[in-house]
Structure 1
Amino acid sequence: MKPTESELEILQVLWAKGPSTVRQVNEQLSQGREVGYTTTLKLMQIMHEKGLLSRTEEGRYHIYQALIGEEETQQHLLDRFVDTAFRGSAMKLVMQALGTSKATPQELAELQRLIHNLNPENN
């Protein structure tokens, strides 16, 4: 399931902070821009209904936790992005990314290491 942009922001807070109340998530989101508490509450309720979040009661508070993993979600979103924006070509994505920004020598060395490790002849 592909989370919306707003849902992804909430998931990022929960991935970073762990199980949290709506207020805790809202406070984190509001550091970047003004987000209403009721908006965050409604989104998290919808995400719970969609199966993106679990919800447990602790006293009078509801504690929410992400039910989908960060890496799994990133991979799914990246796969869709590569398919739609680059017609399935990971090479086009990498060439575009490297062509529009300056990669540091350390980043280029890391890319070379990753490419080396992907080659079955090297393993």
Structure 2
Amino acid sequence: MTPSVTELSLLKCLWKQQPLSAREIHERVEQELGWSYSSTRKTLERMLEKDMVAQQAMHGVHVYTAALDKVSTLAAFAHDFGKRVMEIDAPLPVNMFTGSKLVDQQELAELEQLLQDWPAEKA
């Protein structure tokens, strides 16, 4: 399952640092998404139901961790963007991710491999 754009924002927050409470997540995405704390909590609840995040209690507070793998999720988004938005049938060049603050060199190599090996669409 590919996350929505807002779900991806919460996942990116968790990929950078986890576990985080709903309040901590909200503080990190509030400016980007421009929504209320209750919207963040509701989105986290939906993501929990979809197994995109995991929840546990820590010091009496619920905290969240990303349950989706960062590189494979980003590869799915890149593949979708290339095919659906840009109408490109070939794998996207990994250099479009160079300079990203979200992936390190090892993850970049893994992302390139995933994009190169992406299964062909069945007609």
Q: TM-score, normalised by structure 2?
A: 0.68
More helix by share: 1
Matching residue of 2:32: 32
Indicate how the Cα distance of structure 1 residues 88 and 19 shifts in structure 2: closer, same or farther if over 3 A, else same: same
- Residue 89 of structure 1 is matched in structure 2 by 90
RMSD (Å), alpha carbons: 2.2
CA distance in structure 1 between the partners assigned to 2:39 and 2:12 by the alignment: 17
Q: CA deviation at 1:78?
A: 1.0
Tell me if the contact between 2:6 and 2:33 (Cα under 8 Å) persists in the aligned partners. no
What CA deviation, in whole Å up to 9, does each residue of 1:62-85 have, x standing for no partner? 111000111111111111222223
Secondary structure of 1:54's aligned partner: strand
Corresponding position of 1:56: 56
TM-score, length of structure 1 as denominator length: 0.68
Match of 1:106 in 2: none
Deviation for aligned residue 1:60: 3.1
- Return the alpha-carbon distance in structure 2 between the equivalents of residues 25 and 35 of structure 1: 12
Match of 2:20 in 1: 20
Q: Does 1:74 align with 2:74?
A: yes
> Whose Rg is larger?
1
Structure 2 counterpart of 1:89, one-letter code: A
User: Secondary structure in 2 aligned to 1:68?
Assistant: coil
For residue 33 of structure 1, report the CA deviation from its aligned partner: 5.2
Alignment gaps of 5+ in structure 1: 98-113, 119-123
Structure 2 residue ranges without an equivalent (≥5): 97-108, 114-123
